[in-house]
Structure 1
Amino acid sequence: MNASPHRSGTLYLVPTPLDFGVSQDHAAAPSQWLPAETLAAASRLTHWITENAKSTRAFLKRVDVINGLAAPLQAQHITELPRVAHKKGDHAPEAQSDAQARALLEPALLGHDIGLASEAGMPAIADPGSSIVRAAHAIGLRVVPLTGPISLMLALAASGLNGQNFAFVGYVPQDATERSKRLRELEALALKTGQTQIFIETPYRNTALLQALLQTLHPHTRLAVCCALTLPDQAVRSALVHDWKRGKDALAGLPLDAPAVFLLGR
């Protein structure tokens, strides 16, 4: 998508496959999870704002096999979001992050279309990128979300929990006492209102979180764990807590070393 002297560029929200960080032996072709229109749009872009430049280059290599890139990988303009957006997120409006976002969008004012990408899934959903979208709207750019996998929605659909009223609450505390307190708060809200509570954890802490959930939650609360979504070893389990505990090994068959989404409700 070359620069146009007659118009501002468009910001495209480009989803990527959910196999970031897994062995390429287990990675599917992007065309399995991204429609042709999304791959075609990604192949035409030459300017990117991204969570991680390395992962975006790896994604573009995979796109290039299916749809030749408009510019060689070395000629792609790939700019990373500020590091603070990785650590603390950029979802809350804040003067400095919004100013930085506007600066990153300057090529669009010259007519270049820009792709926004995260390491896996849809940017700005459980990932940084919201500041870029806010800034694009503020300066009058067209914003186009492209179609692709979103782990939170796949997990919600597969959980059997309330899909009409739900909330994504991000990460729960790492400290055991604070984590248990937070889990009880989320459970109380879910049981009172019927609102499904959705949260995630860093893969190497998934096992500890699941064990904490089974120790903390009421026996009749429904708990769903969705691991490795869209990958060959994906596993989804949804059951009342007392049924989780009734099994000989609640962790059996769950690839908890992979990205996982946790959901609780009634």
Structure 2
Amino acid sequence: MTTPGHLYLVPAPLDFGCAVQSPLTDALPDATLRAAAGITHWICENAKSARAYLKRIDAIHPLATTIQAQNIVELPREVHKKGDHHGGFDARPLLAAALQGHDVGLLSEAGMPAVADPGSSVVRAAHDLGLAVKPLVGPVSLLLALAASGLNGQNFAFVGYLPQDATERTDRIRALESIALRTGQTQLFIETPYRNAALLQALVASLQPNARLSVSWGLTLPDGRTRSADVKTWKRTPAGPDNQTPAVFAIGR
């Protein structure tokens, strides 16, 4: 009888799409890189970027097989567009290799798969199939940003993306602010980098002067930064992330 493989959750560095890349060893433990080098079957968001990441790993720990021979399967397009955090997508067929005895790695573009990125459907499917799920150690932008914010790290919520429509976005910002100021629960959210400036402008314009706003960008990179201040300070000096660098936003008190 074939012994099933494991599903490994393989974190990726946070420099995806950034002009500068840091050495992998600055952001990922050696044990994670060694484990990733031994995996030959992958589920990912994008095969091209997955191969680029594997090439970086190969320069540190030789891969178990060539990059060309790696078995890489992409999550369907609808998973990227609509997400898979609420169920509805059956990822069990993607784990056929694990049932045949191969370890399978789940990989996102940056950070931990299934956290602020697609992949939770694959993890659910692994549990339903009786496969062991093994998360590897690596950077998670949300937790790094929360730790660096000075906001409440005992009670917090990640709410994903805010609406793109200006009126709906303002309403959402004020609703999140109300929760943060009333309960002390830090509200974390993200945005596509090219909308960073627009979101920051909306936050500064919509939030109360006494609310605290934290923005982290370029985390784990040499020029990474977290800025945390009350909104009246942000209004005086609104400098924040550029429109190329991934950022995490947080509202608190």
> Which residue of structure 2 lines up, in the alignment, with residue 239 of structure 1?
229
Please identify runs of 4+ aligned residues in structure 1 that moved more than 2 A: 254-257
**Residue 17 of structure 2 is aligned to residue 29 of structure 1:** no
Deviations 1:121-149 (A, max 9, x none): 00000000000000000010000000000
> Which residue of structure 2 lines up, in the alignment, with residue 131 of structure 1?
121
Instruction: Give the whole-Å Cα distance in 2 for the aligned partners of 1:221 and 1:256.
Output: 24
Instruction: Give the whole-Å Cα distance in 2 for the aligned partners of 1:123 and 1:91.
Output: 12
Q: How many pairs align?
A: 253
> Which residue of structure 1 lines up, in the alignment, with residue 92 of structure 2?
102
Instruction: Give the whole-Å Cα distance in 1 for the aligned partners of 2:11 and 2:248.
Output: 18
Instruction: Give the whole-Å Cα distance in 2 for the aligned partners of 1:32 and 1:129.
Output: 25
> Which residue of structure 2 lines up, in the alignment, with residue 11 of structure 1?
7
Deviation of 1:114 (Å): 0.1
What SS does the corresponding residue of 1:69 show, helix, strand or coil? coil
Out of 209, 220, 224, the position equivalent to 2:210 is 220
Does structure 2 conserve the Cα–Cα contact (< 8 Å) formed by 1:227 and 1:256? no
Out of 243, 247, 251, the position equivalent to 1:260 is 247
Identity over the aligned pairs, expressed in percent?
Answer: 64
Structure 1 portions without partners, runs of 5+: none
TM, length-normalised to structure 2: 0.98
Code of the aligned partner of 1:78? I
Instruction: Give the whole-Å Cα distance in 2 for the aligned partners of 1:235 and 1:155.
Output: 9
Instruction: Give the whole-Å Cα distance in 1 for the aligned partners of 2:243 and 2:41.
Output: 35
Does structure 1 conserve the Cα–Cα contact (< 8 Å) formed by 2:196 and 2:242? no
Instruction: Give the whole-Å Cα distance in 1 for the aligned partners of 2:41 and 2:63.
Output: 12
Does structure 2 conserve the Cα–Cα contact (< 8 Å) formed by 1:228 and 1:255? no
What SS does the corresponding residue of 2:59 show, helix, strand or coil? helix
> Which residue of structure 2 lines up, in the alignment, with residue 199 of structure 1?
189
Deviation of 1:246 (Å): 2.4
Code of the aligned partner of 1:121? G
Instruction: Give the whole-Å Cα distance in 2 for the aligned partners of 1:257 and 1:110.
Output: 41
**Residue 163 of structure 2 is aligned to residue 173 of structure 1:** yes
Deviation of 1:175 (Å): 0.8
Does structure 2 conserve the Cα–Cα contact (< 8 Å) formed by 1:19 and 1:120? yes
Deviation of 1:255 (Å): 3.5
Code of the aligned partner of 2:154? Q
> Which residue of structure 1 lines up, in the alignment, with residue 40 of structure 2?
46
Instruction: Give the whole-Å Cα distance in 2 for the aligned partners of 1:251 and 1:257.
Output: 15
Structure 2 portions without partners, runs of 5+: none
> Which residue of structure 1 lines up, in the alignment, with residue 150 of structure 2?
160
Out of 69, 73, 87, the position equivalent to 2:81 is 87
Instruction: Give the whole-Å Cα distance in 2 for the aligned partners of 1:84 and 1:134.
Output: 17
Out of 75, 84, 104, the position equivalent to 1:114 is 104
Instruction: Give the whole-Å Cα distance in 2 for the aligned partners of 1:255 and 1:17.
Output: 19
Instruction: Give the whole-Å Cα distance in 1 for the aligned partners of 2:118 and 2:187.
Output: 20
**Residue 61 of structure 2 is aligned to residue 67 of structure 1:** yes
> Which residue of structure 1 lines up, in the alignment, with residue 137 of structure 2?
147
Comparing 125-134 and 233-242, the one that deviates more? 233-242
Code of the aligned partner of 1:119? E
